[in-house]
């Protein structure tokens, strides 16, 4: 199998693009698609201060490396959602990557906002899915930190497979509100809302995994222990299976969405209007934001026990 670009021995055949590539051109290809996403969705410029939310997994760590390599001013943000176990290992890995990249790493402790509890413990006492708790906490804190530290944009490591999976689940359940707000770049719609971008949105998850392996990037190669029961994991497995039978279906499905969104699931102005949370003054669509409501509930349960 020969590389389509240079004819040397290929290390991989990307079935979804019907493309065989050698190590060098595979790396170039993946990085090129990150640059393409940044440009196509007007995510940020070379002069912008970029904050990468880094969990320690292959996606966010690879993204950080790629952004720095492409010449972006990208610092890291690590959000500690627990006290022990995997989160400690993840933290060490992220620290190592910060050193290698010679970039600043901001670390914050989410448990301080919740009476010292981890997101797993919060989910347990409130009997709610961990992923929903963890998402609320992370989204809120990455915005808060980016705003307070003066970053122009927050980027996350969501890849094509993640985004296609979310879309797939939302369409199956006709979650029109969520679908209409799904986009690889969310602009500044409020003074305290820092734009959000997903530069890996054009890259398949398995390609990012291979990228991390062949470039020798250090990452935590363990799925989040809470993700196993998540509905999204089930939906992702369908897409993975379909992809095997119809290579390229994931990217066709997702780019079809991007191309047709305006005609089908366009967001209504009303949906995008943000006001300030009465408690913390950060943007929200409700009177009190979901983060502050979560804090309130946790404080109440803890005070009773």
Nearest approach, Cβ of residue 177 and a second copy (Å): 11
Q: How many residues does the chain have?
A: 305
Nearest approach, Cβ of residue 261 and a second copy (Å): 10
Nearest approach, Cβ of residue 40 and a second copy (Å): 18
Rank residues 113 and 265 by Cβ distance to a second copy and give the closer one: 265
Interface ranges with a second copy (CB under 8 A):
171-174, 176, 231, 234, 238, 241-242, 245-246, 249, 252-253, 256-257, 259-260, 263-265
Nearest approach, Cβ of residue 246 and a second copy (Å): 8
Rank residues 44 and 168 by Cβ distance to a second copy and give the closer one: 168
Nearest approach, Cβ of residue 136 and a second copy (Å): 24
Beta bridge partners of 12: 21
Instruction: Count the alpha carbons within 13 Å of 99 in the hemisphere toward its beta carbon.
Output: 7
Rank residues 132 and 215 by Cβ distance to a second copy and give the closer one: 132
Rank residues 99 and 252 by Cβ distance to a second copy and give the closer one: 252
Rank residues 28 and 271 by Cβ distance to a second copy and give the closer one: 271
């Amino acid at each position: 199998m020969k590389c389509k670009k240079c004819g040397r021995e290929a290390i991989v055949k990307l079935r979804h693009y019907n493309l065989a590539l050698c190590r060098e051109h595979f790396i170039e290809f993946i990085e090129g698609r990150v640059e393409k996403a940044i440009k196509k969705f007007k995510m940020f410029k070379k002069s912008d201060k970029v904050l990468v939310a880094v969990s320690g997994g292959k996606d966010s760590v690879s993204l950080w490396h790629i952004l720095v390599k492409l010449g972006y001013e990208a610092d890291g943000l690590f959000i500690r959602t627990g006290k022990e176990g995997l989160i400690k290992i993840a933290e060490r890995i992220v620290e190592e990557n910060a050193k290698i990249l010679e970039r600043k790493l901001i670390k914050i402790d989410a448990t301080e906002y919740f009476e010292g509890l981890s997101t797993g413990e919060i989910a347990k006492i409130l009997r709610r899915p961990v992923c929903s708790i963890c998402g609320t906490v992370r989204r809120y804190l990455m915005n808060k930190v980016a705003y307070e530290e003066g970053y122009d944009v927050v980027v996350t490591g969501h890849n094509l497979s993640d985004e296609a999976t979310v879309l797939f689940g939302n369409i199956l359940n006709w979650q029109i509100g969520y679908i209409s707000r799904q986009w690889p770049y969310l602009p500044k719609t409020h003074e305290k809302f820092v734009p959000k971008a997903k530069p890996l949105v054009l890259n398949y998850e398995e390609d990012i995994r291979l990228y991390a392996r062949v470039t020798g990037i250090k990452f935590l190669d363990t799925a989040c222990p809470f993700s196993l029961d998540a509905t999204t994991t089930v939906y992702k497995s369908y897409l993975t299976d379909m992809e095997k039978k119809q290579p390229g279906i994931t990217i066709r499905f997702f780019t079809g969405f991007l191309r047709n969104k305006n005609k089908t699931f366009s967001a209504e102005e009303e949906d995008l209007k943000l006001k300030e949370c009465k408690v913390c003054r950060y943007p929200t669509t409700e009177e009190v934001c979901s983060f502050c409501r979560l804090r309130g509930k946790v404080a109440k349960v803890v005070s009773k026990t």
